[in-house]
Amino acid sequence: MQWLIVGQGAIGSLMAASLQRSGNNVVLKLRQPEITSVALGMQGAQFQFSTQNLPLSQPMHVFAAIKAYSVGDFLDELQQWPLPAGSTLILSYNGMLDNEPSLLPTDTLHWVTIHGAYRDGPTVVHAGQGESWLGWAQPQQASTPTPETILQALNNALPEVHWSDSIQQRRWQKLAMNCLINPFTVIHQCRNGELPPSIRAEQHKLAEELVWLAHQHQLALNADELVQQAWQVIAQTSANYSSMYMDVKHQRRTEIDYLNGFVARQADQLAGSAPQHKAIWHRVRELSLD
């Protein structure tokens, strides 16, 4: 089955090139019809794509690697142009939406990744090998089969991909990684691997606030482990420029409202408090166009 990639940021482009390289038929969804190309920085290989817009005339695997603030508009578009029966929708974005459970169609899949990639013009630099997890966005009936073909295709394209029966737990862990890494790369203006060890104490306080909030959502996280995992991700993606660093550099809107901002707002709503997240949320907003 054909793949439609939505979102031509670093991760969408990396996935498009990786799926094509592993033998899949891949098209890109663009606003204007045009042919586009992606160069994979490390290998210097060139990949050419044609484009396709909604509505689709045949079922496809739709892989949307988009910004959290674009998810609502994309889902509205899908309401207008529903995917043909037999299609799959895979969403990948950093952060959390306040109204998420009511927004996502029940058979949506989440792809959570800690691969590090950034775009340098038309070139995608895959600067950090990571792992990814795939799982249903909403609870499914026990009889629902694992989408093996999709899992296999994604794993062949960009390994390792693990199936997760608790993708929400993975998403909260990823939220923590992004909250503990991305804003600091903006504050210190550096690659992930250049972050100073002195941020550890601040990261720990952020992790503690996240643990409290996750607990309100019936999820168990551990602050020491989160900080340790953040430094593992920093080591794995040391040559990478975080997505937030790149957004600020290119004067684009950042995802801070959906990362530390999400934690701060949710804590307020649940009668708790997350002063560290609130402070860093506002610090990044001052340094960016948000």
Site residues for ligand KPL per CB under 6 A: 94, 114, 116, 177-178, 181-182, 192, 233, 237, 240, 242-243
At closest approach, how far in Å is the CB of 126 from ligand KPL? 11
- Which residue, 74 or 118, has its beta carbon nearer to ligand KPL? 118
Q: Is the dihedral of CA 163, 166, 171, 173 positive or negative?
A: negative
At closest approach, how far in Å is the CB of 154 from ligand KPL? 17
Q: How far apart are the first and last CA of the chain?
A: 39
- Which residue, 13 or 182, has its beta carbon nearer to ligand KPL? 182
At closest approach, how far in Å is the CB of 30 from ligand KPL? 23
- Active-site residue, from 174, 205, 249, 278: 174
Q: How far is it, in rounded angstroms, from Cα 229 to Cα 29?
A: 34
- Which residue, 186 or 213, has its beta carbon nearer to ligand KPL? 186
- Which residue, 12 or 147, has its beta carbon nearer to ligand KPL? 12
Q: How far is it, in rounded angstroms, from Cα 266 to Cα 283?
A: 18
At closest approach, how far in Å is the CB of 209 from ligand KPL? 19
Give yes or no: 174 in active site.
yes
- Which residue, 11 or 78, has its beta carbon nearer to ligand KPL? 11
At closest approach, how far in Å is the CB of 12 from ligand KPL? 13
Q: Which helix (H) or strand (E) holds 40?
A: strand 36-40
DSSP 95: S
Sheet holding 123-128, edge to edge: 116-120, 123-128, 36-40, 45-51, 26-29, 3-6, 61-65, 88-92, 109-113, 132-136, 161-163
Distance from CA of residue 121 to its chain's centroid? 20
Helices then strands (H, E): number in the chain? 10, 11
Q: Which helix (H) or strand (E) holds 150?
A: helix 148-157
Tell me the catalytic residues: 174
